[in-house]
Amino acid sequence: MMLSERPEAVALAGGTNVLVQIKERHREASALLSLQRIPELHELRVDDGLHIGAAVTLSQLANEPTIKRDYMALAAAAGLIGSAQTRNTATIGGNICNASPSADTAPPLLVLQTEVVLVGIHGVRTMPLSDFFLGPGRTALRPAELLKEIIVPAPKARSGSAYMRHIPRQAMDISVVGVAAFLQLNEAGQITVARIALGAAAPTPLLAPGSAGQLKGHKPSRDLWRMAGSIAAQEAQPVADLRASVPFRRHLVNQLTQEALQNALDNITNQ
Protein backbone atom coordinates (compact mmCIF):
# COMPACT_ATOMS: atom_id res chain seq x y z
CA MET A 1 0.00 0.00 0.00
CA MET A 2 1.47 3.29 -1.11
CA LEU A 3 0.33 5.12 2.02
CA SER A 4 2.30 2.78 4.24
CA GLU A 5 5.45 3.61 2.27
CA ARG A 6 4.68 7.26 1.58
CA PRO A 7 2.33 8.54 4.32
CA GLU A 8 2.95 12.10 3.17
CA ALA A 9 1.41 11.38 -0.26
CA VAL A 10 -1.50 13.67 -1.19
CA ALA A 11 -4.65 11.85 -2.30
CA LEU A 12 -5.89 12.92 -5.72
CA ALA A 13 -9.45 12.29 -6.88
CA GLY A 14 -10.87 15.01 -9.15
CA GLY A 15 -7.90 17.29 -8.54
CA THR A 16 -9.90 20.50 -8.88
CA ASN A 17 -8.59 21.74 -5.53
CA VAL A 18 -5.31 19.89 -5.03
CA LEU A 19 -3.74 20.60 -8.42
CA VAL A 20 -4.60 24.30 -8.25
CA GLN A 21 -3.17 24.54 -4.73
CA ILE A 22 0.07 22.88 -5.84
CA LYS A 23 0.32 25.04 -8.95
CA GLU A 24 -0.19 28.22 -6.91
CA ARG A 25 2.26 26.94 -4.27
CA HIS A 26 -0.30 26.89 -1.47
CA ARG A 27 0.45 23.22 -0.91
CA GLU A 28 3.54 21.03 -1.22
CA ALA A 29 3.34 17.45 -2.44
CA SER A 30 6.30 15.14 -2.88
CA ALA A 31 3.94 12.41 -4.11
CA LEU A 32 0.36 12.15 -5.41
CA LEU A 33 -1.86 9.12 -4.87
CA SER A 34 -4.53 8.68 -7.56
CA LEU A 35 -7.83 7.26 -6.30
CA GLN A 36 -9.41 6.83 -9.72
CA ARG A 37 -8.97 3.04 -9.93
CA ILE A 38 -10.46 2.17 -6.53
CA PRO A 39 -14.00 0.95 -7.35
CA GLU A 40 -15.38 1.30 -3.81
CA LEU A 41 -14.75 5.03 -3.85
CA HIS A 42 -17.03 5.48 -6.88
CA GLU A 43 -20.03 3.67 -5.40
CA LEU A 44 -23.28 5.54 -4.92
CA ARG A 45 -26.16 3.56 -3.48
CA VAL A 46 -29.41 4.11 -1.61
CA ASP A 47 -30.67 1.37 0.73
CA ASP A 48 -30.86 1.95 4.48
CA GLY A 49 -29.62 5.46 3.79
CA LEU A 50 -27.38 7.20 1.30
CA HIS A 51 -23.89 5.75 0.85
CA ILE A 52 -21.54 7.98 -1.14
CA GLY A 53 -18.04 6.91 -2.11
CA ALA A 54 -15.48 9.67 -1.68
CA ALA A 55 -14.78 9.78 -5.45
CA VAL A 56 -18.43 10.28 -6.47
CA THR A 57 -18.64 13.48 -8.49
CA LEU A 58 -20.69 16.52 -7.62
CA SER A 59 -22.55 16.10 -10.92
CA GLN A 60 -23.71 12.65 -9.86
CA LEU A 61 -25.06 14.03 -6.59
CA ALA A 62 -26.76 16.99 -8.23
CA ASN A 63 -28.51 14.88 -10.88
CA GLU A 64 -29.40 11.64 -9.08
CA PRO A 65 -33.24 11.60 -8.86
CA THR A 66 -33.38 9.97 -5.42
CA ILE A 67 -31.00 12.55 -3.95
CA LYS A 68 -32.93 15.41 -5.55
CA ARG A 69 -36.12 14.05 -3.99
CA ASP A 70 -35.00 12.93 -0.52
CA TYR A 71 -31.80 14.88 0.19
CA MET A 72 -32.71 18.21 -1.35
CA ALA A 73 -30.13 20.37 0.39
CA LEU A 74 -27.26 18.15 -0.74
CA ALA A 75 -28.41 18.00 -4.35
CA ALA A 76 -28.87 21.78 -4.42
CA ALA A 77 -25.42 22.46 -2.97
CA ALA A 78 -23.67 20.03 -5.31
CA GLY A 79 -25.35 21.68 -8.29
CA LEU A 80 -24.13 25.14 -7.30
CA ILE A 81 -20.40 24.45 -7.19
CA GLY A 82 -18.29 25.73 -10.06
CA SER A 83 -19.10 25.10 -13.71
CA ALA A 84 -20.60 21.99 -15.28
CA GLN A 85 -17.10 20.90 -16.27
CA THR A 86 -15.89 21.32 -12.68
CA ARG A 87 -18.84 19.37 -11.26
CA ASN A 88 -18.15 16.54 -13.69
CA THR A 89 -14.66 16.18 -12.23
CA ALA A 90 -14.80 17.44 -8.64
CA THR A 91 -15.65 14.87 -5.98
CA ILE A 92 -17.62 15.02 -2.76
CA GLY A 93 -14.59 13.69 -0.88
CA GLY A 94 -12.42 16.48 -2.22
CA ASN A 95 -14.96 19.13 -1.29
CA ILE A 96 -15.04 17.85 2.29
CA CYS A 97 -11.35 17.03 2.76
CA ASN A 98 -10.29 20.42 1.45
CA ALA A 99 -11.89 21.66 4.69
CA SER A 100 -12.71 25.09 3.36
CA PRO A 101 -15.04 27.02 5.71
CA SER A 102 -17.08 27.88 2.60
CA ALA A 103 -17.44 24.32 1.24
CA ASP A 104 -20.98 24.24 -0.11
CA THR A 105 -21.69 20.57 0.57
CA ALA A 106 -20.66 20.76 4.24
CA PRO A 107 -23.72 22.57 5.72
CA PRO A 108 -26.22 20.24 3.99
CA LEU A 109 -24.31 17.17 5.11
CA LEU A 110 -24.20 18.51 8.67
CA VAL A 111 -27.96 19.06 8.92
CA LEU A 112 -28.52 15.59 7.41
CA GLN A 113 -26.49 14.04 10.29
CA THR A 114 -23.79 12.60 8.08
CA GLU A 115 -21.05 10.24 9.19
CA VAL A 116 -17.72 9.73 7.45
CA VAL A 117 -15.81 6.46 7.14
CA LEU A 118 -12.02 6.79 7.28
CA VAL A 119 -9.58 4.03 6.31
CA GLY A 120 -5.84 3.79 6.81
CA ILE A 121 -3.00 1.48 7.56
CA HIS A 122 -4.28 1.06 11.12
CA GLY A 123 -7.85 0.12 10.20
CA VAL A 124 -11.29 1.70 9.75
CA ARG A 125 -13.04 4.27 11.90
CA THR A 126 -16.32 6.17 11.64
CA MET A 127 -17.13 9.59 13.04
CA PRO A 128 -19.80 12.29 12.76
CA LEU A 129 -18.99 14.85 10.11
CA SER A 130 -19.34 17.52 12.80
CA ASP A 131 -16.15 16.15 14.41
CA PHE A 132 -14.24 15.95 11.11
CA PHE A 133 -13.54 19.66 10.56
CA LEU A 134 -10.80 21.02 12.82
CA GLY A 135 -10.01 24.36 11.17
CA PRO A 136 -9.43 25.97 7.77
CA GLY A 137 -7.74 23.28 5.68
CA ARG A 138 -7.54 20.93 8.70
CA THR A 139 -9.46 17.71 9.24
CA ALA A 140 -9.40 14.74 11.60
CA LEU A 141 -7.66 12.62 8.97
CA ARG A 142 -4.52 11.00 10.37
CA PRO A 143 -1.31 10.40 8.40
CA ALA A 144 -1.76 7.54 5.91
CA GLU A 145 -5.56 7.75 6.17
CA LEU A 146 -8.22 8.41 3.52
CA LEU A 147 -11.88 9.31 3.45
CA LYS A 148 -13.63 6.24 2.04
CA GLU A 149 -17.35 6.83 2.36
CA ILE A 150 -20.00 9.32 3.42
CA ILE A 151 -23.13 7.90 5.04
CA VAL A 152 -26.35 9.92 5.26
CA PRO A 153 -29.29 8.44 7.22
CA ALA A 154 -32.52 7.70 5.40
CA PRO A 155 -35.00 10.61 5.47
CA LYS A 156 -37.87 10.53 7.95
CA ALA A 157 -41.52 11.09 7.09
CA ARG A 158 -42.64 14.73 6.92
CA SER A 159 -39.09 16.04 6.66
CA GLY A 160 -37.31 18.34 4.24
CA SER A 161 -34.06 20.22 3.79
CA ALA A 162 -32.74 23.18 1.82
CA TYR A 163 -29.51 25.06 1.15
CA MET A 164 -29.12 28.76 0.41
CA ARG A 165 -26.00 30.80 -0.23
CA HIS A 166 -24.87 34.28 -1.18
CA ILE A 167 -22.19 34.90 -3.80
CA PRO A 168 -21.10 38.18 -5.43
CA ARG A 169 -21.64 36.86 -8.96
CA GLN A 170 -24.42 34.82 -10.53
CA ALA A 171 -22.38 31.59 -10.59
CA MET A 172 -18.93 30.04 -10.23
CA ASP A 173 -17.94 31.95 -7.10
CA ILE A 174 -17.06 31.09 -3.52
CA SER A 175 -19.88 31.42 -1.00
CA VAL A 176 -19.73 34.49 1.20
CA VAL A 177 -22.16 32.68 3.50
CA GLY A 178 -24.10 29.43 3.08
CA VAL A 179 -26.92 28.09 5.27
CA ALA A 180 -28.58 24.68 5.29
CA ALA A 181 -31.75 23.82 7.19
CA PHE A 182 -33.56 20.58 8.03
CA LEU A 183 -37.09 20.33 9.42
CA GLN A 184 -39.31 17.46 10.49
CA LEU A 185 -42.96 17.95 11.44
CA ASN A 186 -45.43 15.83 13.38
CA GLU A 187 -48.98 15.14 12.21
CA ALA A 188 -50.18 18.31 13.92
CA GLY A 189 -47.74 20.39 11.87
CA GLN A 190 -45.42 21.19 14.77
CA ILE A 191 -41.64 21.10 14.36
CA THR A 192 -40.21 18.04 16.10
CA VAL A 193 -36.67 18.15 14.67
CA ALA A 194 -34.76 21.17 13.40
CA ARG A 195 -31.15 21.59 12.39
CA ILE A 196 -29.34 24.60 10.96
CA ALA A 197 -25.75 24.65 9.68
CA LEU A 198 -23.61 27.57 8.58
CA GLY A 199 -20.83 27.79 6.02
CA ALA A 200 -18.25 30.58 5.62
CA ALA A 201 -19.47 31.97 8.94
CA ALA A 202 -16.79 30.48 11.22
CA PRO A 203 -13.36 28.82 10.92
CA THR A 204 -15.20 25.57 10.11
CA PRO A 205 -18.68 24.71 8.84
CA LEU A 206 -20.77 24.40 11.98
CA LEU A 207 -24.20 23.59 13.36
CA ALA A 208 -26.24 26.32 15.04
CA PRO A 209 -27.93 24.37 17.88
CA GLY A 210 -29.22 27.41 19.74
CA SER A 211 -31.18 28.66 16.77
CA ALA A 212 -32.53 25.24 15.82
CA GLY A 213 -33.45 24.43 19.40
CA GLN A 214 -35.84 27.38 19.57
CA LEU A 215 -37.95 25.93 16.75
CA LYS A 216 -39.00 22.66 18.36
CA GLY A 217 -42.60 22.38 19.44
CA HIS A 218 -43.74 25.37 17.39
CA LYS A 219 -45.69 25.59 14.17
CA PRO A 220 -43.76 27.16 11.29
CA SER A 221 -44.24 30.88 10.80
CA ARG A 222 -42.36 33.85 9.41
CA ASP A 223 -42.00 35.25 12.92
CA LEU A 224 -40.42 31.98 14.03
CA TRP A 225 -38.00 32.11 11.12
CA ARG A 226 -37.04 35.69 11.99
CA MET A 227 -36.26 34.67 15.56
CA ALA A 228 -34.18 31.72 14.35
CA GLY A 229 -32.26 33.90 11.91
CA SER A 230 -31.42 36.43 14.60
CA ILE A 231 -30.12 33.72 16.95
CA ALA A 232 -28.13 32.00 14.18
CA ALA A 233 -26.44 35.32 13.37
CA GLN A 234 -25.20 35.48 16.94
CA GLU A 235 -24.04 31.85 16.89
CA ALA A 236 -21.92 32.54 13.82
CA GLN A 237 -18.21 33.21 14.32
CA PRO A 238 -17.40 35.13 11.14
CA VAL A 239 -14.15 36.81 10.23
CA ALA A 240 -13.63 39.78 7.95
CA ASP A 241 -11.87 39.27 4.62
CA LEU A 242 -11.84 40.78 1.14
CA ARG A 243 -15.29 39.36 0.39
CA ALA A 244 -17.25 40.51 3.43
CA SER A 245 -17.13 42.23 6.80
CA VAL A 246 -18.20 40.59 10.06
CA PRO A 247 -21.47 42.59 10.29
CA PHE A 248 -22.37 41.79 6.68
CA ARG A 249 -21.76 38.08 7.24
CA ARG A 250 -23.99 38.13 10.33
CA HIS A 251 -26.67 39.88 8.29
CA LEU A 252 -26.40 37.21 5.60
CA VAL A 253 -26.63 34.41 8.18
CA ASN A 254 -29.84 35.99 9.51
CA GLN A 255 -31.46 36.36 6.10
CA LEU A 256 -30.29 33.06 4.61
CA THR A 257 -31.39 31.14 7.71
CA GLN A 258 -34.91 32.47 7.25
CA GLU A 259 -34.90 31.57 3.55
CA ALA A 260 -33.45 28.10 4.13
CA LEU A 261 -36.06 27.30 6.79
CA GLN A 262 -38.90 28.39 4.53
CA ASN A 263 -37.52 26.39 1.63
CA ALA A 264 -37.06 23.32 3.84
CA LEU A 265 -40.71 23.68 4.86
CA ASP A 266 -41.76 24.02 1.23
CA ASN A 267 -39.82 20.87 0.40
CA ILE A 268 -41.89 18.98 2.98
CA THR A 269 -45.23 20.15 1.63
CA ASN A 270 -44.11 19.51 -1.96
CA GLN A 271 -43.32 15.83 -1.32
pLDDT reading at 233 higher than 80:
yes
pLDDT for the residue 82: 82
Exposed e or buried b for every residue in 70-98, given b needs 16+ CB within 10 A? bbbbbbbbbbbbbeeeebebbbbbbbbbb
What residue segments make up the domains of the chain, in order of their start?
38-153, 159-269
> What's the Cα-to-Cα distance from 19 to each of 105, 152, 193, rounded to whole Å?
20, 29, 40
pLDDT at 91: 92
Each residue of 256-265: pLDDT tens digit?
A: 999 999 999 9
Q: Give the per-residue pLDDT at 271.
A: 59
Is the pLDDT confidence value at 212 over 60? yes
3-state secondary structure 176-212: CEEEEEEEEECCCCCEEEEEEEEECCCCCCEECHHHH
Closest Cα to residue 44, out of 19, 62, 24?
62
Most confident region among 4-8, 54-58, 232-236 by mean pLDDT: 232-236
Q: Please, which pLDDT band fits residue 34 given cuts at 50, 70 and 90?
A: low
pLDDT of residue 270 exceeding 90, the answer is no
Comparing 208 with 42, which gets the higher pLDDT? 208
Residue 21 has pLDDT above 90, yes or no: no
Rounded Cα distance, 107 and 120, in Å? 26
For the stretch 136-178, pLDDT in tens is: 999 999 988 889 999 999 999 999 999 999 998 766 678 999 9
pLDDT, mean of residues 67-93 = 92
pLDDT reported for residue 69:
94
Q: Write down the mean pLDDT value for the chain.
A: 89
Average pLDDT score over residue span 191-216:
97
The whole-number pLDDT of residue 174 equals 87
Provide the CATH number for the domain formed by 38-153 in this structure: 3.30.465.10
Which residues are 165's β-sheet partners? Answer: 178
pTM (predicted TM-score):
0.89
Residue 22 has pLDDT above 60, yes or no: no
- The answer, yes or no, to whether residue 235 has pLDDT greater than 90, is yes
- Please report the pLDDT score of residue 116 as a whole number: 98
The CATH number fitting domain 159-269, selected from 3.90.1150.10, 3.40.50.2300, 3.30.390.50, 3.20.10.10: 3.30.390.50
Dihedral pair phi/psi, residue 99, rounded to 5° = 55, 40
Q: Inform me whether the pLDDT recorded for 68 exceeds 80.
A: yes
